[in-house]
Amino acid sequence: MTDREEAGRKALEFSENLWKDGDFWELETSEYERGRYARLIEVLRDRRYARGLELGCGAGYFTRLVAPLVDHLVAYDISPSAITRARAAGGVGAAAIDFRAGNAMDYAWRADEPWDLVVMNETICYLGWLYSFFDVAWFAAELHAATRAGGRFLMANTIDRQGYDKLLLPHIIRTYRDLFLNAGFTLDREETMEGTKNGVEFETLISLFARP
Could you give the CA distance from residue 123 to residue 134 in angstroms, rounded to a whole number?
A: 17
What is the per-residue pLDDT across 62-116, written as a single tens digit (0 to 9) for each?
999 999 999 999 999 999 999 999 999 876 555 579 999 999 999 999 999 999 9
| pLDDT for position 23 | 85
| pLDDT for position 94 | 58
194 exposed, middle or buried (CB, 10 Å; 0-12, 13-18, 19+)?
Answer: exposed
Q: What is the pTM of this model?
A: 0.94
| pLDDT for position 89 | 87
Distance set, CA 45 to CA 38, 66, 68, 161, 169 (Å) = 10, 9, 10, 29, 29
What is the per-residue pLDDT across 120-155, written as a single tens digit (0 to 9) for each?
999 999 999 999 999 999 999 999 999 999 999 999
Q: What is the largest CA-CA distance in the chain?
A: 46
Q: Which amino acid is at 176?
A: Y
Taking the mean position of all CA atoms in its chain, how far away is CA 86? 15
Residue 199 has pLDDT above 90, yes or no: no
**What mean pLDDT, rounded, does the chain reach?**
93
Residue 7 has pLDDT above 60, yes or no: yes
| pLDDT for position 92 | 57
**Alpha-carbon dihedral 128, 163, 13, 153, rounded to 10 degrees:** -40
**68: cis peptide before it, omega within 30°?**
no
Could you give the CA distance from residue 186 to residue 202 in angstroms, rounded to a whole number?
A: 26
What is the per-residue pLDDT across 148-187, written as a single tens digit (0 to 9) for each?
999 999 999 999 888 778 999 999 999 999 999 999 999 9
| pLDDT for position 26 | 87
161 SS3 class: coil
| pLDDT for position 27 | 86
Topology given in CATH for the domain delimited by 3-210: Rossmann fold (3.40.50)
Beta strands in the chain (DSSP E): 49-55, 70-77, 97-101, 115-121, 147-159, 186-197, 200-210
| pLDDT for position 165 | 86
What is the per-residue pLDDT across 17-28, written as a single tens digit (0 to 9) for each?
989 888 887 888
Can you give the three-state secondary structure of 65-109, one letter per residue? HHHHHEEEEEEEECCHHHHHHHHHHCCCCHHHEEEEECCHHHCHH
Cβ distance 211 to 153 under 8 Å?
yes
| pLDDT for position 93 | 57
